[in-house]
Structure 1
Amino acid sequence: MSVQVDGFNASPFFQQLYDGLQDKSAVEKAVKAVNAIIIITLKNKEGKEQSWVLDLKKAGTLTKVDGNPPKGDVQLLLKDVDFVKLANGKANGQKLFMNGKLKVKGNMMKATAIESVFKQLDPRPKL
């Protein structure tokens, strides 16, 4: 299944995250660490919005959403370009939040656990 969406620079990263979720032991760790359903809503430079649902409560899955996103424990709203920086470790989630570039709806504590999960589930080799 593809979780990529045309026009979003974050698409390859979501695919990597999806691939990382195929590792059941990594999923167990992530579910224990986060225990939340996370909705990630990005806006690209054309102003188009796309949401993904990262279920780290039960299923350990990542799906793209067509239409309005469902209710989760926490929703992250940011620009596609900022998400890519965050995913690549070139931006800090706290700084993005403080500068108003990252909006969080729902459980703030769950939002803080997400960065470590991205690092854990990244299938790229660690240098």
Structure 2
Amino acid sequence: MSDLAADGFQASPFFKELHDGLADNKIKQKAIAGVKAVIVITLKNKEGKDQSWILDLKNDGTVKKIDGSLPKSDVQLLLKDVDFVKLANGKANGQKLFMNGKLKVKGNMMKATAIESVFKQIDPRPKL
């Protein structure tokens, strides 16, 4: 799924992992049941460019890159590319990023917290 990649964004491979993880029907159903939301993630890279992806964890369990205007969503997360990568790798805590002003949330705050559990479920790295 190369259409998930965005030049200059370190998070691109993570969206592919998310996509591949959601291809597993069991994970997809669990993610939809746990989150029940459409989430837009907007990242800003080092060059100051913005790119958004949409995670539909309400209806069909898909991840898509957004080109153009943002669709309607339950929640939007706005953060830097590098901070998202840390969050996705479990090296940063969403609440801490939020408290430090590095993560902005528009919409349903509770839905925003639910997404961290999805990242943990899909994480392809070995659990020690």
Which band: TM-score by shorter chain? over 0.9
For each residue in 1:81-117, what CA deviation from the matched residue of structure 2 results, as whole angstroms up to 9, or x when unmatched? 0000000111000000000000000000000101111
Cα distance, 1:67 vs structure 2: 1.4
Q: Secondary structure at the match of 2:32?
A: helix
After TM superposition, which residue ranges in structure 1, 4 or more long, deviate above 4 angstroms? none
Q: Are positions 1:122 and 2:123 aligned together?
A: yes
Q: CA RMSD in A?
A: 0.9
Contact 1:41-1:77 at 8 Å conserved across structures: yes
Percent identical pairs in the alignment equals 76
Q: How many residues are aligned here?
A: 127
| Structure 1 unaligned residues grouped into runs of 5+ | none
Q: How far apart are the structure 1 equivalents of 2:125 and 2:56? A: 21
Q: Verify the 8 A CA contact 1:34 1:57 in the aligned structure 2.
A: yes
1:21 maps to which residue?
A: 22
Query: TM-score, with normalisation over the residues of structure 2?
Result: 0.96
Aligned to 1:53: 54
Residue of structure 1 in register with 2:42 after alignment: 41
Residue correspondence of structure 1 range 1-127 to structure 2 within 5 A: 1-2=1-2, 3-127=4-128
